[in-house]
Amino acid sequence: MTRPLLRVSAAIGVVILLAGCSTPNGLAAFQRATTTEDHLLPGIELPDKPELEKVQLLADVDGVRYYAAQAESRALTCLVKVPNAEVGTLAAGSANSLGTGQIITISGMDGTAATLVADGFETGELEAQGWRKIHQNVLFGLR
């Protein structure tokens, strides 16, 4: 009787370990087909110049475009903020994709900030602090 219970427990443990070691889920936005709107403007270079596998436009608010980008390894996710489609005024940052909350927060020269959050992350606390949700994965605020 103990042996079957032990086997079931071991099987459940293996499933949990494999789920934890698999590639990161990433953002649901990366699951949709890429359109011409999703391409970064020519001349945009990200910090550390990661090789990007996927770039998606997440939001275009008041002339400011917010992109999420994912490196080929899927272990790195980036947030790129391009005000008024001007390459020289962009803000960008990259972080480990394995996070389950805030992935990366970036600040612009204009005194604003944006944070990229994982799918399903509860943003109520951030919104109570003054952040404004502009996309399910992007919040905007002041520094």
Summarised one tens digit per residue, pLDDT across range 41-87 is 777 766 666 677 889 999 999 889 999 998 877 788 999 998 875 65
Q: Which of 36, 45, 26 is nearest to 97 (CA)?
A: 26
pTM for the whole thing? 0.76
Question: Is the model more confident about 132 or about 44?
Answer: 132
Residue recorded with tokens 């997440």: 58
Q: Which of 108, 142, 134, 137 is nearest to 122 (CA)?
A: 137
